[in-house]
Chain A
Amino acid sequence: MKNIKFLFVGVIFGLVLTKTEAVSWFRIQEMFRFQSFHMYGIIGSAVVVGAISVYLLKHFRLRSLDNEPIIIPSKKFNKGSIIGGTIFGMGWALSGACPGPLYALLGAGYPVIIAAILSALLGTWVYSYLRPKLPH
């Protein structure tokens, strides 16, 4: 099962998100009210470590384990960054979670979160359905 390794990385990711309380509705409230450095420290240090890593991968032209060149496709800007980004941000602040924390909270013993996950699936489906009619 070649995908088991990604399950394992997910376990570490979910464990860290939960133990550092980034999955907490309270921490998201605190972040958007600028009342603590905690969430900014997490996101900021993650980006710094991620950026240094990506630079090193590119600089040394490292290859993936299956010996493929490592490729990072560029994300194209469109109006979705603005409209979708704003809608996502409102949902993030309202529910106090984003997709990773939703899965982590379900595992952490909050079964009612399944309702938020199903709603997020519905939102994804409705976007997919309306996509041809939305500005991009």
Chain B
Amino acid sequence: MQWIFEPWPWYVSGPIIGLTVPILLILGNKLLGISSSLRHTCAAIAPAKIPFLQYNWKEESWNLFFAAGILVGGFIGGVLLSNGQPVAISAETIRDIQALGIQSFDGLIPSDVYNWETLFSARGFVVIVLGGFMIGFGSRYAGGCTSGHAIMGLSSLQWASLVTVIFFFIGGLLMTWIIAPWLYTVF
């Protein structure tokens, strides 16, 4: 049973993630997608007469249960079944990340960027708050995130999702190779 505490290889996790597509369809004609939960939460707590937020979000509450489940799964995987070892990324990645000025490689995310003190510094604000804002704004504007477009959309062979995923990568490459190196020198 020692394997359960080790990181799971892609050929185990990928197929299980792929199986959530038919499982959700069979359980109730539900389409895999996580960013929708952000919209439903907005519609529930701050609809503010915005037309896009005027719908019966309660009919979509399955999605909020799904999101809550992900949080519980994160606890089981990240706390109960963790071996406490750093993420085994490649040596080149470690070198590149160190060049950004990041020294902490202990957890799933770098604690020298993700902590309450840096949240109120320029670097933490950019990574956590601006990054989070772009995730929410961009995913809704694009009509879905990694799960809805890359997994669900590509699995059902939708070309709009393929275009969207290509632009996810264009945005990600722009940020990683051009914008972030500049941001990390400024902040």
Contact = CB atoms under 8 A, between A and B. Distances in A.
Interface of A: 2-30, 32-33, 35-39, 41-51, 53-54, 56-57, 62, 64-66, 68, 70-78, 80-100, 102-110, 112-113, 115-129, 131-132, 134
Contacts, number: 513
Given A26-B89, A88-B142, A104-B70, A32 B75 contact: no
A125 B42 contact: yes
Main secondary structure of the interface of B (DSSP, over half): helix
Nearest to B88: A21
Interface residues of B, number: 129
A95 B65 contact: no
Contacts of B142: 80-81, 83-85, 87-88
**5 closest A-B pairs (Cβ-Cβ)?**
A10-B69, A14-B73, A89-B171, A108-B78, A84-B141
Contacts of A48: 18
Given A33-B176, A92-B172, A87 B73 contact: no
Interface of B: 4, 7-31, 34-35, 37-39, 41-42, 46, 48, 50-53, 61-63, 65-79, 81-82, 87, 89-90, 92-93, 96-97, 105, 107-110, 113-116, 119, 126-147, 149-161, 163-177, 179-180, 183
